[in-house]
Structure 1
């Protein structure tokens, strides 16, 4: 039986993804350093810079999904990588020429977000073409593990590079990572077919078909709705968590940046461990039961955060909370994605994945400020409890739906 490691095209795909995700963490930090220290941006302006990346997902995400379904994924992936490399190279050049201003930097961040939207949409549509259905959970888990390692070590690497060679040159290194990713993807030999012109309709008609397919599907619709609630609640929690950890004991725990970094490192370790269990769990219990069970359990580790008080045990409890939560995330994510990719017709992969992703990104934009508003109006602990309640609501929607019975389609056999 063919193993995932034997699929050469997937190895290139995984290597490209891993290379570019580490570079992305470098740029995320370097852009903020450039804005804060070089361009003297205010907190609001840095907020606008960070938000600029997600605006294309909200405004154009559904339309990009239509384009991904019309055309081959590989050229879109390679083109987006090379284009991102060029855009990033422009930042140090503009800086050297004295032409880099905050509006220019925000515009660059928005353009990078648009290119990333194309890449992400094509990326999720391309994976099911590289591996058989039975390998989708393992393939997604391997990618999630790479992202988890990048989440843990990427910010440390980024900070070291920015401090050693400066933000502009650190961004240049990210440009190189995108070039490497593009070359690796260009070497993938899997053949694709564009959608026949005779089958194409208006963009709006195809867009509506994708949205309708998601929200009328017996299994996928509750997964999507529960996912939107989850992203909203999770971003309430992650926004408030930073303030709760760092603020003085009268309103939080009064810990330092180092302790906060330790909790993030624990999250990365948990995600890697969970990813290692994802395929085994999906095979034994089924994708639906795995996803529902992990969602039901996810609020429990978060209970440790508002229940933790100042003291020497605080860092340990917070680290344990993030470790356990991300173990569950590492198990859940690959199973949910594998099921979605397995049941979605090839002609709808781009639209289905982009529809769900775009609305999830919209939940991020809403969840972060909502957490801050609740905390300012009440308290940090109350905001944390509100986020936990949101996770419980997401789990309830999923557990009460037919999605708990979801299983990956059995592979077709020939006699």
Structure 2
């Protein structure tokens, strides 16, 4: 008999998950500050272009392309808690190098790319362990609620982080603002280390064989009747999304000539939408099913970007109408992601055996990040060549086609009470 999802599971009453949730919330807040700071750093401090923003973003995700599948297999062999602690400490210390390099006069776009490659390598291991750690903290019936709680805190961080990040960048400068994220990772490491959890490492029935284990993860993702169409769809989604978000920063700062605080306000609106979406995610997912919820979310994203494209140029007296339209578009985009993530993540975790959790998560994430490595520079280059709005219109068309493809696949019937494998 399938295990019925727990729609009202109060997972925050579990002390282990509560500490993990707090750690993720703290580091998530810092991450959104840095997201703004790094983009402003490239455009304004280092006099970079949209293409430079794309290259820095691609460097951040390059390790997922090169090492992702291997890391997924290695994580499945080990306890996940120590990996989370070590990678949080490493990322915190690494981010401290950015203001130091800026102070020494040694910061440039290529140097920043190198730092982001090292940062991305640590993030890769952390992501594989994080997504695989949640099923060890809460029972299967609480996975949807747990992921919804994580999304809600992420949405709150996304709401406040960009606005505060924009203000900190304006007050202290982009390099120094990055230190906020460094401190958040160090605190996250301390909280995660304090969690009491029993982790069992699977004992292989045959000698470890890395290539065989990687192939097993690939087979699970790309031969699963329901997961496969979703995985393929998300790959295309990340191409469109990375191109659009890369162009968006330069569109706001250079195309519309708005300031960093105004940029932060528009990005914060996405956090508000994400919070609303994540608060509704559990109820909507249980009522509509995973498939219909995710497909609806994918159709909402192009609506939000269409609003952004229609933003008027700032008038001579006030930029308020422009900022308001951008915020409205970002609000819809955030709502879409808030509805989608907890449902798709909870379903993936629920139908995947524990021994394959790391490989399933990192296989999908690695290929998705490979799409970012392609989409972010491509969006930047096209934005510089043909303009920001044409690139956004192309991304909108891509989103619509991807949602239509998912709606025609078996994924449309996915539900949270689907049978998990024995």
Instruction: Tell me if structure 1 keeps the 8 A contact 2:166–2:264.
Output: no
**Shift in alpha-carbon separation, 1:304–1:133, aligned structure 2, 3 A:** same
**Shift in alpha-carbon separation, 1:160–1:288, aligned structure 2, 3 A:** same
**Shift in alpha-carbon separation, 1:113–1:379, aligned structure 2, 3 A:** closer
**1:115: which partner in 2?**
122
Q: How does 1:163-312 map to 2 (within 5 A)?
A: 170-245=177-252, 254=256, 256-257=258-259, 259-310=262-313
Q: 2:392 aligns with which of 384, 392, 401?
A: 384
**2:404: which partner in 1?**
396
Q: How does 1:85-104 map to 2 (within 5 A)?
A: 85-89=92-96, 98=104, 100=106, 102=108
Instruction: Tell me if structure 2 keeps the 8 A contact 1:149–1:272.
Output: yes
| Farther off after superposition, 355-364 or 369-378 | 369-378
Shift of 1:149: 2.4
Q: Which whole-Å CA distance do the structure 2 matches of 1:350 and 1:119 have between them?
A: 11
Shift of 1:24: 2.8
Shift of 1:9: 0.8
Q: 1:351 aligns with which of 359, 362, 378?
A: 359
**Shift in alpha-carbon separation, 1:346–1:330, aligned structure 2, 3 A:** same
Secondary structure class of the residue paired with 2:196: coil
**Shift in alpha-carbon separation, 1:411–1:380, aligned structure 2, 3 A:** closer
Instruction: Tell me if structure 2 keeps the 8 A contact 1:219–1:403.
Output: yes
Deviations, residues 296-337 of structure 1 (Å, cap 9, x unaligned): 343233333344544775443332222123212211111011
**Shift in alpha-carbon separation, 1:306–1:180, aligned structure 2, 3 A:** closer
* Structure 2 unmatched runs, 5+: 1-7
Instruction: Tell me if structure 1 keeps the 8 A contact 2:38–2:174.
Output: yes
* Structure 1 unmatched runs, 5+: 249-253
Q: 1:70 aligns with which of 63, 73, 77?
A: 77
TM-score for the superposition, normalised by structure 1: 0.86
The answer as to 2:57 corresponding to 1:54 is: no
Secondary structure class of the residue paired with 2:295: helix
**Shift in alpha-carbon separation, 1:168–1:369, aligned structure 2, 3 A:** closer
Q: Which whole-Å CA distance do the structure 2 matches of 1:244 and 1:45 have between them?
A: 14
Instruction: Tell me if structure 2 keeps the 8 A contact 1:229–1:393.
Output: no
Q: Which whole-Å CA distance do the structure 2 matches of 1:172 and 1:264 have between them?
A: 20
Q: Which whole-Å CA distance do the structure 1 matches of 2:38 and 2:322 have between them?
A: 32
**2:13: which partner in 1?**
6
**1:409: which partner in 2?**
417
**1:251: which partner in 2?**
none
**1:341: which partner in 2?**
349
TM-score for the superposition, normalised by structure 2: 0.85
Secondary structure class of the residue paired with 2:291: helix
Instruction: Tell me if structure 2 keeps the 8 A contact 1:242–1:260.
Output: yes
Deviations, residues 376-400 of structure 1 (Å, cap 9, x unaligned): 5555443222111100111012100
Q: Which whole-Å CA distance do the structure 1 matches of 2:392 and 2:38 have between them?
A: 29
